[in-house]
Amino acid sequence: MSILITGGAGYIGSHTCVELIEAGKDIVVIDNYSNSCSESLERVKKITGKDFRYYECDIRDREGLEKVFAENEIEAVIHFAGLKAVGESCQKPWEYYDNNIAGTLVLVDVMRKNGCKKMVFSSSATVYGEENQVPFVETMKTGTTTNPYGTTKLYIENILKDIYNADNEWSIVLLRYFNPVGAHESGLIGEAPSFPNNLMPYVSQVAVGKREFLSIFGDCYNTPDGTGVRDYIHVVDLALGHVKAIDFALPRTGVEIFNLGTGNGVSVIGLVKAFEEANNVSVPYKIVEPRAGDVAYSYANAQKALEILGWKAERDVKKMCEDTWRWQKNNPNGYAN
Ligand code: NAD
Ligand code: WQD
């Protein structure tokens, strides 16, 4: 029996493939390579020394999915596939709703027709919205999302809850990630955005000399140094959280939500300083206008994952910075070389 990983060639997916294989699981990957390439999967094979099947397949492609289910015995799905750029989602809402929501509907339909009713889904801390106060707890009511990307995550959570309510044979785990950063210690896989969306890729591109300076979006938030505070989590810790989540989902039915964060907040300037110190590099920055939709604080209450999954983030901010830098230095053009 295998676990199907949708979007497995991507940033979090590729790291999760490594940890699943290291934990002795059989995996099959699908990806349409809209934001990745198969080289990341070849590197997963290199890191683990294990072979596995991967397919170029879109989650909206019913026939393609049927073929994957026919050729493999899939017992559960870890569903990463999706578009994730907040700004782009405001320009292309239709594409985001189609890819993320319509795609999930096709996937769920093919799963149930094949008797596979276990899914771990990549949700986001963005579903807490602007109304809730930190630390965010799973029991809080979800908030108002500020962009179509966030709305797709909220809708998919609700869709999956309804799917379970109508058919109690499903086992669904919704993982709300905070801010994933870092890379595998080998320096072979990491985040390779064609255009960065998040803070850490900008920081490392400034450090490597690809950009002149970092623009910090506002220093007048009600935080200790005025810059936004986030819960950065090492991608390998996040990946290990998926191994725990799949082991939790397999023998059960139900819907369960877990925050995957460290529970610690770090400011933008705090992350820049940590990166400079960890790697002995300089990251010049300029303070610019705040970015629309940003909140002052976002960090997790990470207790539930500890108590129920036995999972806790172990890697500190220094390690996040060191591993990001190793990946960036070894692969200045991502997987392109
Ligand atoms: P990523 O873009 O690196 O990975 C997503 C993968 O899905 C890519 O390889 C892409 O090619 C693939 N994909 C997209 N649409 C597809 C489709 N229709 N069919 C098949 N494959 C498709 O992003 P990531 O950072 O690894 O994120 C993985 C998941 O986690 C996403 O669902 C994302 O929304 C969610 N998430 C990410 C973050 C973050 O900050 N990185 C935070 C919270 C949640
Ligand atoms: C972090 C901090 C910025 C870039 C987003 C999504 C969220 C989730 C994770 C997917 C903020 C500041 C950033 C820059 C800066 N993704 N910043 N200069 O906004 O917390 O969360 O990614 O689900 O849904 O909204 O992450 O990395 O963009 O920003 O000053 O060039 O860095 O203002 O305080 P964010 P981020």
- Position in ligand 1 atom list of the atom nearest CA 153: 34
Residue nearest atom 4 in ligand 2 by C-alpha distance: 199
Separation of CA 178 and ligand 2 centre (Å): 10
- Of 122, 146, 223, 230, the one to substitute when testing ligand 2's pocket (max ligand atoms within 8 A of C-beta) is 230
Position 315 scores a pLDDT of 98
Q: Tell whether the model's pLDDT for residue 238 goes beyond 80.
A: yes
Q: What confidence tens digit (pLDDT) does each residue in 211-221 have? A: 999 999 999 99
Q: What confidence tens digit (pLDDT) does each residue in 56-111 have? A: 999 999 999 999 999 999 999 999 999 999 999 999 999 999 999 999 999 999 99
Give the alpha-carbon dihedral of 316, 317, 320, 322, to 10 degrees. -110
Position 318 scores a pLDDT of 98
**Would you say 181 and 266 are in contact if contact means Cβ atoms under 8 Å apart?**
no
Separation of CA 294 and ligand 2 centre (Å): 8
Mean pLDDT of 137-158: 97
- Of 6, 14, 84, 145, the one to substitute when testing ligand 1's pocket (max ligand atoms within 8 A of C-beta) is 84
Query: HEC states along the chain?
Result: CEEEEECCCCHHHHHHHHHHHHCCCCEEEEECCCCCCCHHHHHHHHHHCCCCEEEECCCCCHHHHHHHHHHCCEEEEEECCCCCCHHHHHHCHHHHHHHHHHHHHHHHHHHHHCCCCEEEEEEEHHHHCCCCCCCECCCCCCCCCCCHHHHHHHHHHHHHHHHHHHCCCCEEEEEEECEEECCCCCCCCCCCCCCCCCHHHHHHHHHCCCCCCEEEECCCCCCCCCCCEECEEEHHHHHHHHHHHHHHHCCCCEEEEEEECCCCCEEHHHHHHHHHHHHCCCCCEEEECCCCCCCCEECECCHHHHHHHCCCCCCCHHHHHHHHHHHHHHCCCCCCC
Taking residue 289's Cβ as centre, other Cβ atoms within 10 Å add up to 8
Mean pLDDT of 286-313: 97
Residue 115 burial (10 A CB sphere; 0-12, 13-18, 19+) = exposed
**Does residue 149 have an active-site annotation?**
yes
Q: Give the pLDDT band of residue 46 (cuts 50, 70, 90).
A: very high
Position 337 scores a pLDDT of 67
**Would you say 223 and 297 are in contact if contact means Cβ atoms under 8 Å apart?**
yes
Within 13 A of 116's CA, how many CA atoms are on the CB side? 24
End-to-end CA distance of the chain: 35
**Would you say 301 and 137 are in contact if contact means Cβ atoms under 8 Å apart?**
yes
Position 36 scores a pLDDT of 97
Phi, psi (5° rounding) for residue 52?
-160, 165
Q: What confidence tens digit (pLDDT) does each residue in 153-205 have? A: 999 999 999 999 999 999 999 999 999 999 999 999 999 988 888 999 999 99
Residues with CB under 6 A from ligand 1: 6-7, 9-13, 31-36, 58-60, 80-84, 99, 103, 122, 124, 177, 180, 198
